Amino acid sequence: MTFFSRLRVNTKFNIISSLLLIALFVALAYSSYRRDQSLIMKGAVDTARTISRQIIETRDYLSRIVTTEPEYNENLIPQVAASRVARQLTQGSNYYVRQVSLRYRNPDNRPDDFETAQLTTFRDVKAAETWQVTVEKGKKSLRYLLPMVSDQSCLVCHGSYDTAPAFVQRRFPRGHFSYGYKVGEVIGAVSVSVPMEGLYHEIGSNLKRDILYDGLVLAAFILISGWIIRRTILTPVKAVAASIAEVAHSGNFSERLEQRGEDEIGALIASFNELMAELDRRTIQRIESEDRYRNFIEIAQSPIITFMSDGKIVISNQKAEKLFGLTKQELLGQSIFDFMEKGVVLQGAMRDYFSAGSSDLIGTTTLQKVRDVCGRLFEVEMVISVSQSDQSPMFSAILRTVK
């Protein structure tokens, strides 16, 4: 935190806004990635379903139309013709189509492990279709299966051996497991598979493009917002800070800043200018009142010495200079305690004043002995009054020589 607190406002702002934006972009990219993924998945399932239905329709049509033709042309066996159509249909695409059966006639139509599991499910439970993403040898693919249910027309060749056409009987002898189906039974399924790699490739490049755009937006945001913050906040605040430092250094309250707007920064500058005007006015007042005080004590008939709490003499009048036998220059800056016979007592009185708020030496007339430059002692009546100056109190001692 100390590291962070030492950073400049602009840097802090950039760090915070970048983190927020990055979090936002990541969340958006992730959600759009997920949306793309589910859309692509849905699209792929739709395509697989369409292909499968087309095959089933083709085969059903042929099964109803074709009777003895396969006897002369095996390409007209409904399953064979439908497979050819499917192959034509999916040529050049990622989709791979088969027709499989647990009790297959053609070994090419033997189901793999996944298909066997799904076919068993279809056989036992009635289901419209099924799909799943599987991983095989580290490669993901979408697998889709649509069951094929036998109707009366199928039983001509898939029913009993005795009623099957001769070309079927020739190829599949009595007792072959591909006979004996009943109406409504699942004979097999259209199986479609498509590698996910090909499907997701597009999302991957979408993601890369998104990240690039987001990065550009982020950079532009940081540049523009940094510029705005510098112009509208940092530069004016810096100017105020510099002026305050300058005033603190020089004590010159005549400085004013140009107020540009009516916003918070404008208000800050206005307050600064007001403060300076007030300080300026007070300084002038103080100088005037000090001058008045100096003139006043100068014409007073008694010696007057004004000193600080440490005894340092700051103002004196002619009478006082005469009493101590020193010039004003010599007297100012000296300690009043040194001129008193009992300087230590006065020093104690100062301490009392600070600790207790009052002292019996202040505000009352006491008899004291003071020493002049030659060391001669005079008896004087002394009264001390306190006045509060800017920071610390000042004490004025009025002395009157006792004849």
Q: Which residues bind ligand HEC (CB under 6 A)?
A: 59-60, 63, 66, 70, 77-80, 99, 101, 104-106, 109, 148, 150-151, 153-154, 156-158, 168, 178, 187-188
Count Cα neighbours of 312 within 13 Å in the Cβ-side half-sphere. Answer: 6
Dist CA 377 CA 368 (whole Å):
10
User: Exposed/middle/buried for 118, CB within 10 Å: 0-12, 13-18, 19+?
Assistant: buried
Q: Is residue 233 within 8 Å of residue 12, measured between CB atoms?
A: no
Nearer to ligand HEC, 76 or 314 (CB): 76
Least distance to ligand HEC, CB of residue 150, Å: 5
Among the listed residues 150, 149, 132, the one whose alpha carbon sits nearest the alpha carbon of residue 141: 132
Dist CA 93 CA 53 (whole Å):
17
Least distance to ligand HEC, CB of residue 133, Å: 24
Among the listed residues 303, 314, 306, 310, the one whose alpha carbon sits nearest the alpha carbon of residue 372: 303
Q: Is residue 89 within 8 Å of residue 51, measured between CB atoms?
A: yes
Q: Is residue 159 within 8 Å of residue 180, measured between CB atoms?
A: yes
Phi, psi (5° rounding) for residue 2?
-65, -35
Least distance to ligand HEC, CB of residue 73, Å: 11
Least distance to ligand HEC, CB of residue 211, Å: 47
Nearer to ligand HEC, 98 or 319 (CB): 98
Among the listed residues 206, 213, 200, the one whose alpha carbon sits nearest the alpha carbon of residue 32: 206
Least distance to ligand HEC, CB of residue 171, Å: 6
Q: Which residue is nearest to ligand HEC (CB)?
A: 154
Nearer to ligand HEC, 25 or 96 (CB): 96
User: Which residues lie below 8 Å from residue 136, measured CB to CB, with a gap of 6+?
Assistant: none
Among the listed residues 313, 395, 305, the one whose alpha carbon sits nearest the alpha carbon of residue 354: 395
For residue 395, what are its two tokens? 């004490």
Least distance to ligand HEC, CB of residue 188, Å: 3
Nearer to ligand HEC, 155 or 276 (CB): 155
Nearer to ligand HEC, 156 or 239 (CB): 156
Least distance to ligand HEC, CB of residue 179, Å: 11
Largest interatomic CA distance in the chain = 162
Distance linking the first and last C-alpha atoms of the chain: 74
Least distance to ligand HEC, CB of residue 62, Å: 8
Q: Is residue 193 within 8 Å of residue 31, measured between CB atoms?
A: no
